[in-house]
Amino acid sequence: MNIFKRLWRRIFPRRPDLELSFVEGDTPPENLSPGHLVVAKEGDELWAAALLCPCGCGERIELALIDAANTKWHLVSKDRLSPTLHPSVWRKTGCRSHFWVRSGKIVWCAE
């Protein structure tokens, strides 16, 4: 990132769609607030990430981050204001939202 961009970011901080926070333990908290991605961790081990569905339906989405899980997501960027998850999140029930979390932004997948 060049110096001008960096300076611009400092003056006008970008508001992310999702802000990352961590809790100690193996389960994310019951109560989540919109715009937050909460990751449960014990020491260096990341267990699970949770967020409220960004479509606004209010459903809770929980993603396994541990190696033992069959379906597993990677928290590629642990930056507080620009978390990135891989692969995409695709709800198979309810609203069926399909999106990526990239650099703190929700990127919707076209059906």
Binding residues vs Zn ion (CB under 5 A): 53, 55, 57, 95, 97
Residue 111's SS3 state is coil
- Maximal CA-CA distance, the chain: 45
Shortest CB 94 distance to Zn ion, Å: 6
Of residues 32 and 55, the one with the C-beta less far from Zn ion: 55
Of residues 71 and 93, the one with the C-beta less far from Zn ion: 93
Shortest CB 55 distance to Zn ion, Å: 3
Shortest CB 43 distance to Zn ion, Å: 32
| H/E segment holding residue 6 | helix 3-11
Q: What is the DSSP string of 47-58?
A: EEEEEE-TTTT-
Shortest CB 47 distance to Zn ion, Å: 23
Of residues 19 and 59, the one with the C-beta less far from Zn ion: 59
Of residues 69 and 95, the one with the C-beta less far from Zn ion: 95
CB 7 within 8 A of CB 40: no
Backbone angles phi, psi at 71, to 5 degrees: -105, 125
